[in-house]
Amino acid sequence: MAHHHPHSAPRPGGGLDSLTIPAAQRSMDDGSLTAAGLTRAYLTRIESVDPLVRAVLAVDPGAERAAEASDLRRRAGDTRGPLDGIPALVKGNIAVRGHGAAAGSRALVGSRPAEGPLVTRLREAGAVVLGTANLSEWANFRSTRSTSGWSALGGQTNNPHVLDRNPCGSSSGSGAAVAASLAQVAIGTETDGSILCPAGACGVVGMKPTLGLLSAEGIVPISAEQDTPGPMARWVVDVALTVSVLAGRRAAPLRPDSLQGARIGVWRLETSCFDTDALTDTATDALRAAGAVPVDVVLPGTDVVDAHELPALLAEFRRDVERWLQETPGDHPRTLAGLVAFNAGDPDELQHFGQELFEQALAAAPAGSPEAVAHRRQARAAARSAIDSTLATHRLSAVMAPTNSPAWRTTLGQGDAICFGSSSPAAVAGYPNITVPAGSVGPLPVGMSFMSTAGRDDELLALAHAFEQATRARRPPTFLPTSP
């Protein structure tokens, strides 16, 4: 099925769209598919489709060799588990052997970080590292007016559903690539919304695990208090298998009846700018039809989270990025002030927007100061309480909310016209959050997020899988040039 070369004109998925990892493994086991054939199909699709989407920063020259090695292992009866032979892209702020981790910035092109342990773990599991994915430069932490999906190294990534719409950030390339069937899975990173938003906007599944479940080593940091890698894919099962491999544990058991009897909070996110109530109603009906008990909730204290998160991150970013710059070998600035100076002198870096967040981080009270510590303490306490008190009061398994408003038109230099998102409480709390396609507004996808308390990752994956099977809402992108 997946070894036919896709057409040169993009069509929905080119035969790869509906493929799951378990189906690929069955086909490789029975010989109807090879890892080399699957890898070639993705590389061919990148060649034909990525010029429209611009999600891939660099293809890995060792990809086909890794796939052939996987086929040899399989013939010898020596496969390494569910990811063996499965092609994956890695976000460009995660250190990959031979590619470094420039975070989309020309300032880090000369840096030579050691490969991140999670990438090494992917290789050890037999996965095929297809290459690196574009991202919002510096993971969207350079300017208050930055455009998601743009980096000086990769240019602008487009939303594959409607090409003049934004893919959301900062894991823009990872989300757009799996939506466009340019990889089976992709690894993104999130500080707040950077996995959830692109997955929601591009119509795929994205998971931000509990903080600390997956190693953040080898990721160009924003803050150790919130940063985590996480997988993105077209199907919940692929995300579950990837998380299990990266975490070194058994995969979550996914049963389609996991919603039966589950009490699920429904947080509607009252906003003045975009109404997702109809989609939330449809999702709530689907929960009910699957045997769940939906309960309307409003997460308390999100204003407190919003007030303290950025001041905390500014202090932590300066501390954590300077540690990264100083510990990483190679030719690059060693301080945040050095980055600011580099950007000011570079012809490309500041062409569309500035570096106000870098400047604010330089001026902020330092990490470890009473002021910065208080911001972090208040942000985290409010975020944890928002989720935990809601779960406890209503005896819930999870809270469901629309992930974010549909994709806006990309306007370089005018910032992001995102209207709302529900990622902050789980991001600031360090709690797990997973988004699943839930429907569309015209051609633009909208996801529903399922969030819970620390360590409930497997339970969330099971609920998300049941929701996905009940709704079957995901649509392959059709690469419309524009939308009304």
CA atoms within 13 A on the CB side of 19: 29
Secondary structure string (H, E, C) spanning 457-472: HHHHHHHHHHHHHHHC
Distance CA 216, CA 334 (A): 20
The single residue of 105, 194, 397, 424 carrying the catalytic annotation is: 194
Q: Is 105 a catalytic residue?
A: no
Q: Environment class of residue 40 by beta-carbon count within 10 Å: exposed (0-12), middle (13-18) or buried (19+)?
A: middle
With contact defined as beta carbons under 8 Å apart, do 243 and 205 qualify?
Answer: no
Q: Is 258 a catalytic residue?
A: no
With contact defined as beta carbons under 8 Å apart, do 343 and 357 qualify?
Answer: no
The single residue of 70, 91, 105, 223 carrying the catalytic annotation is: 91
Distance CA 39, CA 35 (A): 6
SS3 84: coil
Distance CA 172, CA 381 (A): 29
Angle at the Cα of 416 (from 413 to 412), degrees rounded to 5?
A: 25
Please, which residues bridge with residue 440 across strands? 445
Q: Is 208 a catalytic residue?
A: no
The single residue of 146, 148, 170, 423 carrying the catalytic annotation is: 170
- Biggest distance spanned by C-alpha atoms of the chain: 62
Six-digit token string for 124: 């050890």
Name the amino acid, one letter, at 445.
P
Pick from 427, 394, 410: which is nearest to 53 by CA?
410
DSSP-H helix ranges across 266-301: 277-289
Distance CA 46, CA 175 (A): 14
Q: What is the CA radius of gyration of the chain?
A: 21
How far, in Å, are 133, 192, 220, 290, 407 from residue 259 at the CA level? Answer: 34, 27, 37, 6, 29
With contact defined as beta carbons under 8 Å apart, do 386 and 430 qualify?
Answer: no
End-to-end CA distance of the chain: 35
Pick from 183, 188, 211: which is nearest to 198 by CA?
188
Residues annotated as catalytic are 91, 170, 194
